[in-house]
Amino acid sequence: MAILVKNIKKLIQVENQPVELRAGKEMQTLICIDDAFLITKGELIFEFGTMDQLTDEMIESIDEPIEEIDAAGKMVFPSFCDSHTHLVYAGSREIEYIDKIKGLSYEEIAKRGGGINNSAKRLAESTEEELFNAAMERLTEIALMGTGAVEIKSGYGLDTENELKMLRVIKRLKESSPLIIKSNFLGAHAVPLAYKGRQTEYVDLIINEMIPMVAAEDLADFIDVFCDKGFFTPEETERILMQGIKYGMRPKIHANELDYSGGIQVGVKYNALSVDHLEYTGDEEIEALLGSETMPTFLPGAAFFLGMIYGPVRKMIDAGLPIALASDYNPGSSPSGNMQLILSMGCVNYKMLPEEAINATTLNSAYAMGVSDIAGSIAKGKVANFFITKPIPTIEFMPYAYGSNKVDQAFLKGKHVKPHYHGTKTV
């Protein structure tokens, strides 16, 4: 079934000559078409242009049934790409939320058995089926709000058995959901309580046992490490990354969320696809990123929820760097995968222009998860992941109206996104 969306008020993020990313001043570039049409064929974008360019011959050439949608007064955006999530998890952590309100820090909560280790305990008690069904519900939720590609990390297992369980769930999600999904092995998310005082032994376990077993089942596209104060050192991070690279996993890094950790520099050294969080980013870190292939990725939902400082996004863009924004969807520090809200936070908290924030949540975030060749923009041959807004007056209204869902209809691989019903395998 092909889809013809016609009378589009404005078609956003159009590319006749696709690019991988936009950096520096180019992040203000947002190519749009007024009074537009969009045609999908199968799972891909087939054609687009202005309404006066739409011909009967073009429609007849599709040679399959066509669903017509009148989008008068509405806009069409490429689906958001969310390059950093932890959405496979068991249970919520609202009690820790209250602890935060009372003044306890992220590190203090972690030291007393909360945080990541709390989620690890709950995950160990959950079946693969329970994790899969809960994650499918979350995937549907974010798809209906406009997300079309998502990276999902492990890291709540913290032992070989449960890390593999998480990654097998992510593999099932890849096979069962129409979203574009990338998997990330994050065994080095925290030191499990059983290895307290024996951190080196846990790093050895990751290197000698977990990574080979993950690779043997082809369960991960990326390898990640929480390289930060109180977690894993730059030296430990290097050891883990080198082993991951040996087994075909490209690095990504949690870096500089809690302090100047050296994680950004390690990421650049090992050609990480992205370095994420980055609240503590100075001139030295910016210099390291300039000229690299590593995408600086900010997670405004986590900074907001934890009451942390906001990283120097404006300074980094002005220095010529690209920026991606992602949700960090997880039960402890960012319990939301709403990329519309992330778009708004990019503007309000990081002083990004709407055009910059849209690039950061579409094209650049697609790059940050290695899918900018198939997602992140409206271009012929890319996957037909897009959404039609409700009637809105301007592009700026998207981040401005931060509390409302502006998505009227969402499409993944050229098909309508429909609510997920418990136990089914499709969105």
* CATH, range 2-78+377-416: 2.30.40.10
- Give, for 342, the enclosing helix (H) or strand (E): helix 339-350
> For position 423, what pLDDT does the model report?
44
> For position 426, what pLDDT does the model report?
43
Distance between CA atoms of 330 and 235, rounded to whole angstroms? 27
> For position 422, what pLDDT does the model report?
47
| AA letter at 273 | L
DSSP tag of 73? T
The pTM (predicted TM-score) of the whole model is 0.95
Whether the CB-CB separation of 294 and 272 falls below 8 Å is answered with yes
Whether the CB-CB separation of 279 and 310 falls below 8 Å is answered with yes
Domain ranges of the chain: 2-78+377-416, 80-367
Can you name the CATH fold of 80-367?
TIM Barrel (3.20.20)
Per-residue pLDDT of the chain (427 residues; tens, 9 = 90+): 999 999 999 999 999 999 999 999 999 999 999 999 999 999 999 999 999 999 999 999 998 999 999 999 999 999 999 999 999 999 888 888 888 889 888 778 887 778 888 899 999 999 999 999 999 999 999 999 999 999 999 999 999 999 999 999 999 999 999 999 999 999 999 999 899 999 999 999 999 999 999 999 999 999 999 999 999 999 999 999 999 999 999 999 999 999 999 999 999 999 999 999 999 999 999 999 999 999 999 999 999 999 999 999 999 999 999 999 999 999 999 999 999 999 999 999 999 999 999 999 999 999 999 999 999 999 999 999 999 999 999 999 999 999 999 999 999 999 999 886 444 444 4
Beta-carbon count within 10 A of 112 CB = 11
Distance between CA atoms of 137 and 133, rounded to whole angstroms? 6
Distance between CA atoms of 377 and 6, rounded to whole angstroms? 18
Distances (CA, A) of 397 to 46, 324, 387: 28, 20, 15
